[in-house]
Chains A and B, each alone.
Chain A
Amino acid sequence: MKTAALIWTWIEERFDVGELIAPLRSKTVPRHRFSIWYLLGGITLFLFFVQVLTGLLLLLYYRPSTQEAYESVQYITTRVQFGWLVRSVHFWSANLMIFMAVAHMFSVVLLRAYRKPRELTWVSGMLLLFLALGFGFSGYLLPWNTLSFFATKVASEVAGQVPLVGHALLVFMRGGEDVGGATLARFFSLHVVVLPALAATLLMLHLWLVQKFGMSVPPSVESHWTEVPEVRQEVRFFPDFLLRDLMAWCVILAALLVLAAALPAELGHKADPFAPTPFGIKPEWYFLAQFQTLRLLPAKIFGIEGELIGVFGFGLAGALWLALPFLEGRLGRNGSRWVRAAALLGMVYLGSLTLYAYFAK
């Protein structure tokens, strides 16, 4: 302890860290019956850090070429000390991060935390969610196994349906007409360079905005507090709230370890580009709802390709959802109710279609 105090004094004398973290000491966080939902953002952030750490470890052995990608993952899983654990934690952390990000998004909508002045916090958060999906999509191909190869092939074919730019988009994604070495190379660079750089920038912006505007208080709680100010409750950000965050992170870390040990990421079989597409190929769970929607759409709707309308519909829904804080006011007096209804409908739609696709043959 004495050594730690000495080190702290040494740092404090030179960098005045106490002054830097003073705002954190004075910062408070509102506490109410919905406070538990505040943990979701912190958990997502924690999982992102787990991803960065495990990703860096995987990078020590991973080789991004069609000849070596599968073999290097096989080597990590079988030969590298605790390589299997790092890979499985990376896999489960990715899945949990997307799940937590989606849950965080819906909690923000239902608690109306996106309203003024937090519009840009919402926009930056939504962009981070899109990036998380991009991480999932690009990372899925990297083990270069049969499932990842054909799932990427099918998904990029869907991207090829986009009007006017579809084919160009498909060629850009694949690095050619087919999924091959060029696709793997660009997915790898996207996964480990482009997306992390964008995510780090957006994450800093998002966190700064959260710090700047503080935690939102749901309108119902806020009005109650305005009427009865003595019931207003707040806790210190440091250490009280941060300790709760830490506890949540511990729970998540424990869950990650259990999942990684009990249900490790499978290796599958090396991709064979000349093999026929396996029957019943499906994307990862977070794209299942969209995948099933496209499958359910008729081939032609009013003479237009069904898939085209589906892809256009997803794009439009995503854009509208992104602009949610700016659109709510235009919906009139009942705008917030419409948004809540849309969120509930979206949850039901995503949940049911995901389950349907998961169990469908």
Chain B
Amino acid sequence: MGKSLLVLTFVVALGSSLARAQQTGACSNCDQGDSRVKAIAEEFAADIHAQNAMSCNVCHAGGGRGTEANRISAIPRERIPELCGSCHADADRIKKFNPSLHTDQLAQYRTSVHGIKFANGDTKAAVCTDCHGVHRMRPASDPGSSVHPLNVAATCQRCHSDAEYMKPYHVATDQYAGYSDSVHHEAMVAGGDLSAPTCTTCHGSHGAVPPGVKSVASVCGTCHVLQARYFEESPHKHIFAMMNIASCVTCHSSHRIKHPDDTFVGTGPKAVCGNCHTPDEPAGETANGIHRRFQRLEADMAGAKSLLDRAEHSGMDVSEAQLELDQAGDALTKARVTLHTATLSRVTEDVNVGAGIVAKAHQAGEAALRERGRRRKSVLIPLIAIVALLVSLGAYLREIERGQLTTTGAKR
């Protein structure tokens, strides 16, 4: 049974390889004089379709050997979405190759800005091959793919950063520059976190649309769950809705999203609260109160850390206190999230948790340094004894050597 299975596997594998070689090689064999076709055929060998034993004629219907090869022609751009959809929207067909692959791309595309414009006759609008490539399509999980998370932004910016190309659409072309300078890009590229957001995370991929004012919080909230929830509980929610301004992006911007620090809060020069509030109004006071609490906790944490570091470098064991101090950092992080409620009492509650931990760590650090002082003092007595012994030895040596040191030999 095992042997039969082995033989069968070998035969299937051999047959599949031969078939693929025949099919993908067909065009290049017949068009040896046309180096462009040969180059395409070579490029296509690395394509996911070629690797699933599909040949040119799957898309370029009518392809084949001899005279039939002449029927191959470029696919008109307006046919591309439907052509791709003829397989990719066919669940029965797709599941033979990859059962986990979605089959709603075409349906989603039709709802996208790209799809709608395309359906209205704007052939400049993106179609499948603009993002996925033509003859060298790779699965999105392949780092070489143009739609791999690391490459998505570069793929989108090919059109969206081209001011000339985008001119008729009256949309900004600085999204990529902004994104490249954002905390999300940093997490993706520098941090290697492939789950970090890229264009498609917020805009969708096949159904790409810019999120509307009302859906921004939902988009950001898919990752920043607590922030979105707290924003819902904040007084800002109704005011933003009344003023018809988007939630998260009003403070954090849309593409150039920077890592917010505590200068963001309050009415200081860098603070975003100051864009709407003045320091002397209640909301401004709340913002400044939150800012002061963050700063105080941060400074107290740094002080406690420095104290514990000093104790550690003095050979004291403060690992437990250091571990606990990390929890103060967690409390500060939580308070920074609670900030989205814009409620001073709730933020203070979290800050106080951190302050309590810091106080304990500080005490532990001081206790360790006191112990260090005791240890230092404890060697004083033996040290004095050694110095006394040294002096006595010196005096004794001087006494016995007095008159004993001779020339031409030692005196007994």
The CA of A230 and the CA of B406, in the complex, are separated in Å by 10
Closest Cβ of chain B: how far from A79's Cβ, in Å? 9
- Against B, the Cβ 8 Å flags (1 = close, 0 = not) of A220-240 are 000000000111111110011
A74 within 8 A of B: yes
Partner-contacting stretch, out of A43-51, A184-192, A205-213, A263-271: A263-271
Taking CB atoms, residues of chain B closer than 8 Å to A251 are: 390
The listed residue (A239, A243, A258) touching B379 by CB distance below 8 A is: A258
In the complex, chain A residues whose CB is within 8 Å of the CB of B375: 84-85, 261, 264
Pairwise interchain contact A260-B379, C-beta atoms closer than 8 A: yes
Cβ–Cβ contact A267 & B382, under 8 A: no
Q: Which of B42-50, B103-111, B314-322 lies at the binding interface?
A: B314-322
Contact residues of B: prevailing secondary structure = helix
Chain A min CB distance to B389 (Å): 6
Q: Which residue of B lies closest to A231 (CB)?
A: B407
CA distance A77 to B31 in the complex (A): 81
Cβ–Cβ contact B390 & A254, under 8 A: yes
Per-residue interface assignment for chain A, residues 249 to 288, with 1 indicating a CB less than 8 Å from any chain B CB and 0 otherwise? 0110110011011111111010000000000000000000
Residues of chain B lying within 8 A (CB to CB) of residue A254: 383, 386-387, 390
- Give the number of A-B contacts (CB < 8 Å): 90
Q: Would you give the shortest CB distance from A281 to chain B, in whole angstroms?
A: 18
Contacts of B406 in A (CB 8 A): 233
Contact residues of B between 312 and 362, Cβ < 8 Å to A:
312-317, 319
Interface presence of B242 (CB below 8 A) = no
Is residue A244 contacting chain B, with contact meaning CB distance below 8 A? yes
Known: A257-B379, A264-B314. A233 touches B407 (CB 8 A): yes
Docked-complex contact B390 and A266, CB < 8 angstroms: no
- The minimal Cβ–Cβ distance linking A331 to chain B, given in whole angstroms, is 35
B318 to chain A, nearest CB (A): 9
Bound-state CA distance A26–B409 (Å) is 11
B residues less than 8 Å from A263 (CB atoms): 315
- Closest approach, in angstroms, between the C-beta of B360 and any C-beta of chain A? 18
List, in ascending order, chain A residues with CB within 8 A of B319's CB: 74, 267, 269
Q: Does A246 sit within 8 A of B, measured CB to CB?
A: yes
B410 near A236: Cβ-Cβ < 8 Å = yes
Number of B residues, CB within 8 Å of A: 32
Whether a CB of chain A sits under 8 angstroms from the CB of B412 is: yes
- Is A88 an interface position by the 8 A CB rule? yes
Complex partner residue of B386 from A230, A244, A253, A265, CB under 8 angstroms:
A253
Answer yes or no: A292 CB below 8 A from chain B CBs.
Answer: no
Residue A28 at the B interface, CB < 8 A? Answer: yes
Complex: chain B residue closest to A75, CB-CB:
B317
Asked whether A78 is an interface residue with its Cβ less than 8 Å from the other chain, the reply is yes
Please state if A266 and B313 are interface contacts (CB–CB under 8 Å): yes
Residue B302, interface by CB 8 Å: no
Task: Decide if A250 touches B390 in the complex (CB within 8 Å).
Answer: yes
Residue A250 contacts which of B315, B317, B389, B407 (CB distance < 8 angstroms)?
Answer: B389
User: Which residues from A are CB-within-8-Å of B394?
Assistant: 247
Chain B residues positioned under 8 Å from A262 (CB to CB) = 376
CA distance A257 to B387 in the complex (A): 12
Cβ contacts under 8 Å, A233 to chain B: 405-407
Chain A min CB distance to B25 (Å) = 42
Q: Given A77-B317, A247-B394, A254-B387, verify A240-B376 contact (CB < 8 Å).
A: no
B401 at interface by CB-CB < 8 Å: yes
The complex places the Cα of A130 from the Cα of B211 at a distance, in Å, of 71
Q: With the chains together, A233 CA to B409 CA distance in Å?
A: 6
**Does B250 count as interface, using CB distance less than 8 angstroms?**
no
In angstroms, Cα B393 to Cα A246, docked, is 8
Task: Indicate whether A240 sits within 8 Å of B400 (C-beta atoms), given known contacts A253-B386, A257-B383, A258-B379.
Answer: yes
Q: Which 5 A-B pairs have the closest CB atoms?
A: A264-B315, A250-B390, A234-B410, A261-B379, A78-B317
12 extra A-B contacts, CB within 8 A, seeds A85-B379, A236-B410, A240-B397: A28-B409, A77-B315, A234-B409, A234-B410, A243-B396, A243-B397, A244-B397, A250-B393, A257-B386, A258-B379, A261-B376, A267-B312
Cβ contacts A to B, 21 pairs, < 8 Å: A28-B409, A28-B410, A84-B315, A85-B378, A88-B315, A233-B406, A243-B393, A243-B400, A247-B390, A247-B394, A253-B386, A254-B390, A257-B379, A257-B382, A257-B383, A257-B386, A261-B376, A261-B378, A264-B314, A267-B315, A269-B319
Interface residues of chain A, those whose CB is within 8 Å of chain B, are 25-26, 28, 31, 74, 77-78, 82, 84-85, 88, 229-236, 239-240, 243-244, 246-247, 250-251, 253-254, 257-258, 260-267, 269
